[in-house]
Amino acid sequence: MIIGFLGTGVITEAIIRGLYDVAGYDDTILVSERSATRSAQLAHDYRKVRVVCDNRSLAEQSDWIMVSVLPEQVRDVLKELDYRPDQKIISLAAGVSLEQLRTWAAPATDIVRVIPMPPIEHGLGPVALCPPDAGAETLFEKIGTCVAVSDEAQFNLFGAASALMADFFDQVADVTTWMSGKGMDLTTAARYTTALYHALSDLTVRQPVEELHMMSAACQTPGGLNAQFLARRTQSGASRSLTEGLEDILARLESAAD
């Protein structure tokens, strides 16, 4: 089977490296020549990656077409190509609806939306899919945790949650910088904070789902440090800003598909 990527940006590279390095994937992958340095590097690093000069030729040669250009580029890129009814179209583009994709990629009807995240390069992280698709799930399960829903409105909730990434990294960096500002060596501070956030995230995955909401309470000794910190953050509106931020992103994703 041949998978072709329209767009050779950050997330395309993460998926390709994850597939070959982590999952031992061995089929051919085509990438567009755009982002010439990145596509050339991928072809250099993996013998099964081939750079294809134009999108039309890439689409013709591919059994599955991964749409990995920016959302505002999807319409123009898709509309200039021809599709076979048996081709699978997998779109990564945020806010581009299944209905829009069906219109622009007709007569192809086998269309799936996915949201992989950058840690997929290391075989980690969620891969949201809509609708559920056995083929796409088999591929992405090699390098991530597939979570598929039939309802596109629910899929947008995953899209909103995927926007937490920058805030998370800022939190790790800010705590590290705060320690270093107090005189600690930066490497020592980072060793502590990255191990802390890694361990806490790992703990959430191990927790039974129904006990997830009890994790916070379980580490709050009355009058203790965790209780004091959380109270301060709640008071300053941190938890409200989390849900408000998610609502904003959701509204943006929902309106983009109109």
Ligand X SMILES: NC(=O)c1ccc[n+]([C@@H]2O[C@H](COP(=O)([O-])OP(=O)(O)OC[C@H]3O[C@@H](n4cnc5c(N)ncnc54)[C@H](OP(=O)(O)O)[C@@H]3O)[C@@H](O)[C@H]2O)c1
Q: 3-class DSSP state for residue 88?
A: strand
In the bound complex, what is the minimum distance in angstroms from residue 79's beta carbon to ligand X? 11
d(CA 220, CA 154): 32
Question: Which two three-digit tokens encode residue 57?
Answer: 């030729």
Q: Which residue has the closest beta carbon to ligand X?
A: 9
Question: Which two three-digit tokens encode residue 251?
Answer: 């509204």
> Cβ closer to ligand X: 40 or 117?
117
Q: Give phi and psi for 19, each to the nearest 5.
A: -60, -50
> Cβ closer to ligand X: 118 or 245?
118
d(CA 203, CA 194): 14
In the bound complex, what is the minimum distance in angstroms from residue 191's beta carbon to ligand X? 26
In the bound complex, what is the minimum distance in angstroms from residue 84's beta carbon to ligand X? 20
d(CA 226, CA 222): 9
> Cβ closer to ligand X: 67 or 190?
67
> Cβ closer to ligand X: 2 or 117?
117
Question: Which two three-digit tokens encode residue 166?
Answer: 């920058």
In the bound complex, what is the minimum distance in angstroms from residue 45's beta carbon to ligand X? 16
> Cβ closer to ligand X: 161 or 179?
161
User: Which residues contribute to the site for ligand X (CB under 6 A)?
Assistant: 6-12, 32, 34-35, 55, 68-71, 73, 77, 92-94, 115-118
β-bridge partners, 130: 113
> Cβ closer to ligand X: 28 or 57?
57
Question: Of 138, 89, 87, 147, nearest to 117 (Cα)?
Answer: 147
Residue 142 in contact with residue 3, Cβ under 8 Å? no
d(CA 160, CA 167): 13
In the bound complex, what is the minimum distance in angstroms from residue 112's beta carbon to ligand X? 13
Residue 52 in contact with residue 4, Cβ under 8 Å? yes
> Cβ closer to ligand X: 30 or 189?
30
The continuous run of DSSP H or E covering 127 comes out as: strand 126-130
d(CA 133, CA 150): 10
In the bound complex, what is the minimum distance in angstroms from residue 116's beta carbon to ligand X? 6
In the bound complex, what is the minimum distance in angstroms from residue 54's beta carbon to ligand X? 9
